[in-house]
C-alpha cells in the first residue's frame, strides 16, 4: 500500500477562491508590489487570518521543477545524527544542498533552514518532505522560498 503524503493535485477550478487569493497575496508580497500582509489581504478581499491560516499549505504546481531552488525551514530536536539524517535524505533524493543555517538549540530544539537545488536526477521533493516530517524529532517542514535558477 502506498504511503499517504498529505498532498493532492487538483484542477484550479476545484480550488476554493480564498486559497487562490492566498497564492496571489504571496506573489504580491514576494514581488514587492505590496509591503505587508495587511495590504495584500485588503487588495484581494481576504482576511489576514485566512492568509496566515493557509499560506504554508498552498503553492502553485509547476510541471518542471528542475533548475528551481527551495528553502526548507523546520524545527529539529538537538539529537546526535538527526541533521546528518536530513542531509543524507536530501542527497538520496538527488537534490543539491546550496546553504544550511542552524540556530543554537534552545530548550533542546534548533531552527534549521536548508536551501536545495532541484537537478535533473532529483526525485519527488514532496515525497522527501513527507519522509522528513515522518522522522521523529523533526517538526513541520515548510517551503519558505522557491525560485527558478535559469
Domains, the chain, with CATH or none: 12-54 (no CATH), 68-148 (3.30.70.260)
CA dihedral 88, 89, 92, 96 (to 10 degrees): -80
Q: What is the pLDDT of residue 5?
A: 62
Q: What is the pLDDT of residue 61?
A: 61
Q: What pTM does this model have?
A: 0.59
Q: From CA 117, how far away is CA 122, in angstroms rounded?
A: 9
Q: Which residues of the chain have pLDDT under 50?
A: 63-64, 149-150
For residue 13, what are the contacts with CB-CB under 8 A and spacing of at least 6?
none
Give backbone dihedrals phi and psi of 140, rounded to 5 degrees, phi first: -15, 115
Amino acid at each position: 500500500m502506498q504511503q499517504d503524503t498529505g498532498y493532492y493535485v487538483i484542477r484550479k477550478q476545484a480550488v476554493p477562491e480564498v486559497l487562490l487569493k492566498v497564492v496571489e497575496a504571496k506573489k504580491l508580497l514576494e514581488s514587492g508590489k505590496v509591503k505587508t500582509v495587511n495590504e495584500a489581504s485588503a487588495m484581494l478581499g481576504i482576511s489576514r487570518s485566512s492568509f496566515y491560516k493557509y499560506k504554508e499549505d498552498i503553492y502553485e504546481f509547476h510541471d518542471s521543477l528542475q533548475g528551481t531552488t527551495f528553502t526548507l525551514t523546520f524545527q529539529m530536536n538537538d539529537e546526535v545524527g538527526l541533521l546528518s539524517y536530513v542531509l543524507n535524505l536530501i542527497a538520496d533524493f538527488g537534490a543539491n544542498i546550496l546553504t544550511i543555517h542552524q540556530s543554537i538549540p534552545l530548550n533542546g530544539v534548533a531552527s534549521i533552514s536548508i536551501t536545495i537545488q532541484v537537478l535533473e536526477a532529483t526525485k519527488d521533493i514532496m515525497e522527501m518532505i513527507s519522509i522528513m516530517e515522518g522522522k521523529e524529532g523533526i517538526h513541520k517542514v515548510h517551503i519558505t522560498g522557491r525560485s527558478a535558477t535559469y
